[in-house]
Amino acid sequence: MKGVVYRDTHTAAWHHLSVLQPHVRDHVAVLGLVVVVDESEGYAYLKSRPEDPDLPPVPRLVPRRSLSFHVSLLLALLRRKLAEADASGSDPRLVLSRRQIIDMLTVFMPSGADDARLVDQIDAHLTKVIELGFLRRTKDKEPSFEVRRIVKAFVDAQWLADFDARLSEYAAELSPDAEGAA
């Protein structure tokens, strides 16, 4: 009941979930949870039931995590890369090297920063995204990461719109015109 179940890595659990899905849905509904199964992408997870005024409120069992700006940015960039890979119709797995991820994020980091310190910060953001389950380390010699398809469920159009609005707010606060008006 904790984390994401993937068809390719949790074969026994995936099989049981497929066979017992109606029973699992009924069981977790009592706890105020909903099972989300994406057969085409090969993952399943639990989320809190949307609030319903006709039902009594249920305590939140699935924690909400506040993400830093750079972790949110990395998730948005990974989602974009996944969409590009899906559009190209190539390999269903998206594997990015550590260098590719660093290059993607460096564009959005402050200029003039010490390169070693910048890479350490990006590595910290990468570690957080791995802990959240959106990336998985591969067994290649060079450090590389598989983008997990669950990122599509988390980073949807609404999430991107909210993130875009926050980016606009940050840009407005940091613009020189905002400083002169204050």
Q: Are 47 and 54 in contact (CB under 8 A)?
A: no
Asked if residue 80 belongs to a domain, the reply is yes
Cβ neighbours around 165 below 10 Å, total: 10
pTM, two decimal places: 0.73
Please say which residue of 64, 96, 112 terminates a domain. 64
Give percent above pLDDT 90 in the chain: 20
- C-alpha dihedral sign at 67, 72, 74, 79: positive
Single out the residue in 38, 64, 90 at which a domain terminates: 64
Question: Is 12 a member of any domain?
Answer: yes
Whether the per-residue pLDDT at 82 is higher than 90: the answer is no
Q: Write out pLDDT tens, residues 125-172.
A: 999 999 888 999 988 778 899 999 888 888 877 777 777 777 777 666
| Domain co-membership, 75 together with 152 | yes
Q: Which residue has the higher pLDDT, 64 or 93?
A: 93
Domain termination residue (choose one: 49, 64, 79): 64
Range of the domain at 78: 69-176
In a domain, 182, yes or no: no
User: Does 140 map to a domain?
Assistant: yes
Strands (E), the chain: 5-6, 33-38, 43-48, 94-97, 135-137, 144-147
Same domain, 4 and 36: yes
Residues 113 and 168 in one domain: yes
**Angle (nearest 5°) at CA 108 between 67 and 131:** 35
